[in-house]
Amino acid sequence: MSDDEGIVYVVDDDPSIRRALHGLLNSAGWAAETFPDAPAFLAAKRPDRPGCLVLDVQLPGLTGLDLQTRLASVNEALPIIFLTGRGDIPISVRAMKAGATDFLTKPFSEPELIAAIRRAIELDRTRRAERKELDELRRRYDSLTPRERAVMAGIVSGRLNKQIAAEFGTTEVTVKEQRARVMLKMKAKSVATLVRIAERLRV
């Protein structure tokens, strides 16, 4: 089993459900880790690989919704599939508004759960790729000098080299050189690409 297959965390206080889900997930090709409550899950070290959380709503002490809130507060965007035996609509609405990917009522079918997990892991894989790409863009931006950042701001706002030069009190040739360094460091082959990068970085 490769890391790319993903890992599924199960938090449920019912031992029989944990055992059943562990076997089901393994047979479907995923690694699975089970926990009896939220604190046990929070205390565990989790590998840096795509995954999702299958979470019982009605947990003792720290509830499933509490755990969802806790994870959001530390910016841990692990996709969550909620399980409930009560089919409580207000709870499901709150969970989905807070970012849950699915909300299944017990008893649920195995194909239904497997499909939900596949969607959640693919979502996590996509988010991870986006975060990695954004981190790389930030690294490139951090490599720019203050003047190069200012030139980049001028480029993405549509100003010409001579306009930027007039603003900075320098020559057009100097701005042209700085512009070339910005494009090289940001690995932008066109102004349109640089504009999209600036939008992603919100600079």
What is the reported pLDDT for 135? 95
pLDDT in tens, 158-188: 999 999 999 999 999 999 999 999 999 999 9
pLDDT at 3 over 50: no
Please name the amino acid found at residue 79: P
The Cα–Cα gap between 95 and 81 comes to 9
pLDDT at 146 over 90: yes
The Cα–Cα gap between 152 and 144 comes to 9
In terms of residues, how long is the chain?
A: 203
Range 8-21 average pLDDT: 95
What is the reported pLDDT for 140? 97
pLDDT at 49 over 60: yes
Contact 182, 155 (CB under 8 A): yes
Q: Which residue, chain included where needed, has tokens 């479907």?
A: 28
HSE of 191, CA atoms in CB hemisphere, 13 A: 12
What is the reported pLDDT for 88? 67
The Cα–Cα gap between 58 and 55 comes to 9
Give the strand order in the sheet containing 31-35.
31-35, 7-11, 51-56, 80-84, 102-105
Which CATH architecture fits 143-201? Orthogonal Bundle (1.10)
Say whether 109 sits in a helix, a strand or coil.
coil
Which option is the CATH number for 3-134: 3.40.50.2300, 3.90.1300.10, 3.30.420.40, 2.40.240.10?
A: 3.40.50.2300
Percent of the chain with pLDDT over 70: 96
Measured between its terminal Cα atoms, the distance across the chain in Å is 41
Higher per-residue pLDDT: 136 or 87: 136
Domain ranges of the chain: 3-134, 143-201
Question: What is the chain's mean pLDDT, rounded?
Answer: 91
pLDDT at 2 over 50: no
1-5, 77-81, 188-192: which has the highest mean pLDDT?
188-192
What is the reported pLDDT for 4? 59
pLDDT at 123 over 80: yes
What is the reported pLDDT for 133? 95
Prediction pTM value: 0.77
Pair of tokens at residue 38: 């939220």
Say whether 164 sits in a helix, a strand or coil.
helix
What lies within 8 Å, CB to CB, of 28 at 6+ separation is: 114, 117
